[in-house]
């Protein structure tokens, strides 16, 4: 397989952590749309949102997704990349899409431990647990729709990488 692999899921699901480890295991390149945008603009997510609003950030995110996509590459996407139908169609068409799925409580716990506020400014202004419940309610159907494979993101990163390697050897069922 040479196709790019796209990691999708909410903030804290482990797209960056697991995506990086998966790339190492496969001998693939690793790239992250949030990091790509930070490097190309010199601005954090919070800065871009302050200057251009979420609409501007989402436009840049769609451009970044296309720019980083290449064969033999694991792409960690931003948590909201699935919001645009254009991005969902692009990822399904270009490669394999992996949804790292975890409950809101797990995500909120991880984000509390390691907030990284500049890269993860609040989406709703609400406390993080409430925010993650809301975000998942709004996006779960989109993550499911775009994914070729859904993985349990509460396992350890090593276990998730092994599980992804197994599903990549199967034909996508969706
Ligand atoms: N499977 C896991 N088990 C335990 N902790 C994890 C796991 N995956 C990620 N983490 C931890 O959760 C935090 C968030 O992980 P990570 O940055 O990879 O998430 P993300 O999906 O890339 O989030 P974002 O959308 O904000 O970029 C990190 O502190 C990371 O160490
Ligand atoms: O879930 C989201 O909407 C976001 C997730 C992060 O990866 C960043 O892309 C940004 O903080 C927005
Ligand atoms: Mg990330």
With a pLDDT cut of 90, the percent of the chain lying above it is: 93
pLDDT digits (tens, 9 = 90+) for 14-30: 999 999 999 999 999 99
pLDDT digits (tens, 9 = 90+) for 53-78: 999 999 999 999 999 999 999 999 99
Task: Say if CB 64 and CB 37 are below 8 A apart.
Answer: yes
Structure tokens at 169: 């050897």
Let me know if residue 19 belongs to a domain: yes
Domain that holds residue 84: 5-169
pLDDT digits (tens, 9 = 90+) for 79-132: 999 999 999 999 999 999 999 999 999 999 999 998 888 899 999 999 999 999
Tell me the CA–centroid distance for residue 33 and ligand 3, in Å.
8
Outline where DSSP puts E strands in 11-161.
29-32, 73-76, 96-101, 149-152
Query: Into how many domains does the chain fold?
Result: 1
Please report, for the domain that includes residue 109, its CATH number. 3.40.50.300
Residue whose Cα lies nearest atom 4 of ligand 2: it is 79
Q: Measured at the alpha carbon of residue 65, what is the angle toward residues 62 and 69, in degrees to the nearest 5?
A: 150
Let me know if residue 174 belongs to a domain: no
123 Cβ closer than 6 Å to some ligand 2 atom: yes
Kindly provide the ipTM of the predicted complex, given to two decimals: 0.98
What is this structure's pTM?
0.97
């Amino acid at each position: 397989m040479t196709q790019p692999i796209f990691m999708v899921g909410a903030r804290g699901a482990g797209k960056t952590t697991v995506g990086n480890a998966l790339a190492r295991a496969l001998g693939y390149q690793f790239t992250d749309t949030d990091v790509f945008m930070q490097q190309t603009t010199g601005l954090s997510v919070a800065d871009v949102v302050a200057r251009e609003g979420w609409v501007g950030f989402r436009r840049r995110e769609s451009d970044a997704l296309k720019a980083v996509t290449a064969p033999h590459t694991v792409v960690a996407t931003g948590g909201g990349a699935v919001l645009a139908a254009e991005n969902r169609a692009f990822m399904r068409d270009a490669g394999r899409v992996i949804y790292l799925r975890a409950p809101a409580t797990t995500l909120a716990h991880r984000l509390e431990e390691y907030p990284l506020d500049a890269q993860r400014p609040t989406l709703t202004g609400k406390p993080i647990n409430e925010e993650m419940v809301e975000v998942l309610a709004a996006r779960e159907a989109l993550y499911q729709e775009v994914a070729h494979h859904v993985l349990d993101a509460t396992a350890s990163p090593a276990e998730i990488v092994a599980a992804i390697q197994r599903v990549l050897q199967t034909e996508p069922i969706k």
